[in-house]
Amino acid sequence: MTAHSTRSPSDDAASGSGDQKPVEQDRDYRVQDYIQPLAFPAGAIVLALALSTVWNMAPVDAFLLSFLVVTVGLQGIWAFLGHYFKADMVAALIGWPAGNPFQTEIAFANLAFGILGLLCVVYRGEFWIATAIGISIFLLGAASVHIRDIRERGNLNPANAGGILVTDILTPLALLGLLALRYLL
């Protein structure tokens, strides 16, 4: 989860603010603008390997806990910070208009999931299941908005079509797959 919003320009049009297109940027994007969100899953994998090899945690538990703490917890806090304190910059990276107060709502949704992810260190069992299902619904919903914006407006800005889109899809798949391995098999 990263700094991204689930509100598209078409949502603004539906609310009567006019048909808006993705915001064009004056600058060239850097590779890191597209791949930065991939650092969180990479960090989760490194942590999981350490938990399973150094601390002898069962591999499925190690990967599930690591993904919950890093890609839900830390990435959620990171997304909150971006949407709340750098809202206009994040909007520009997504390719959407700045100044939308809806980003504050997204900031607090990311903060809520971030805290839930971090609490997975303390709470286990059904808490992990609820956290994984909740964030999966949120992220897959965000991915559908990003894909729609790519199809309808050609919005290939980094925080719409870059690493964030990849993590919005792969994080839920990883979490739900790990839950299935842990609780169903």
- What is the per-residue DSSP string for the chain? --S--S--HHHHHHTTS----PPPPSSPPPHHHHHGGGHHHHHHHHHHHHHHHTS---HHHHHHHHIIIIIIIIHHHHHHHHHHHSHHHHHHHHTS-S--THHHHHHHHHHHHHHHHHHTTT--THHHHHHHHHHHHHHHHHHHHHHHHHHHH----HHHHSHHHHHHHHHHHHHHHHHHHHHT-
**Predicted confidence (pLDDT) per residue in 131-142, tens digit:** 999 999 999 999
Q: Is residue 16 part of a domain?
A: no
Q: Is residue 11 part of a domain?
A: no
Q: Sorting pLDDT into bands at 50, 70 and 90, what band is 32?
A: confident
Q: Is residue 21 part of a domain?
A: no
pLDDT above 70 covers a percentage of the chain that reads: 85
Provide the domain count of the chain: 1
Mean pLDDT computed over every residue of the chain: 87
- Domain residues for the domain of 117 are 32-184
Q: Sorting pLDDT into bands at 50, 70 and 90, what band is 21?
A: low
Q: Does the predicted TM-score (pTM) go above 0.85? A: no
Whether the pLDDT of residue 166 is over 50: the answer is: yes
**Predicted confidence (pLDDT) per residue in 91-105, tens digit:** 999 998 999 898 999
Q: Is residue 47 part of a domain?
A: yes
Q: Is residue 125 part of a domain?
A: yes
Q: Is residue 111 part of a domain?
A: yes
Q: Is residue 61 part of a domain?
A: yes
Q: Is residue 9 part of a domain?
A: no
